[in-house]
Amino acid sequence: MIPTSPYRMLVVDDEDSVVIAFRKYFSRHGFLVDVAREREEAEALIVTSHYDVVVADLRLSGSHGVEGLELLRFVRAHSRGTPVAILTAYGSPEIEKAAVELGGSVFLQKPKPLAEVAEAVAALLREPRPDA
């Protein structure tokens, strides 16, 4: 999965080990990777930069919240054509349905090998997108 030109990716997760692993893995595969550890930080990056794909954890505060869905709503409002993959270890059919209804592109259960996340990201990047 080596892109012909660098794709820009935003990874949003509150766990340092996750953002470090994603940045290292996807950078090695030709992506330009920005990371955010909080929803507000991600929102600031989204309004100032264009991303080809966003990968976000569902829970960013360590609580039982669903900040990833709030971020998904924000991406749809500010960058409609950007695909968003939601990652979570706390999924449920209801949350997955909510993510799809909000325009989530893919919903992945953690833990997920990075190679499988990369396959999902590559598939998202091949899909035609509405105008941003």
Query: Which domains are assigned to the chain?
Result: 8-126 (3.40.50.2300)
Hey, what are 74's tokens? 């924000």
Provide the percentage of residues in the chain whose pLDDT is more than 90: 61
Q: Look at residues 129, 67, 121, 127 and name the one whose alpha carbon lies nearest to residue 98.
A: 67
Q: Which of 70, 17, 15, 20 is nearest to 46 (CA)?
A: 70
Using pLDDT thresholds of 50, 70 and 90, give the confidence band for residue 40.
very high
Q: What is the tens place of the pLDDT at every residue in 110-119?
A: 889 999 999 9
At 14, give phi and psi (nearest 5°).
-85, -5
* Pairwise pLDDT comparison (26 vs 91), residue with the higher score: 26
Give the model's confidence band at 102: pLDDT under 50 very low, under 70 low, under 90 confident, else very high.
confident
**What is the rounded average pLDDT of the residues 67-95?**
90
Give pLDDT tens digits for 4-31: 568 999 999 999 999 999 999 999 999 9
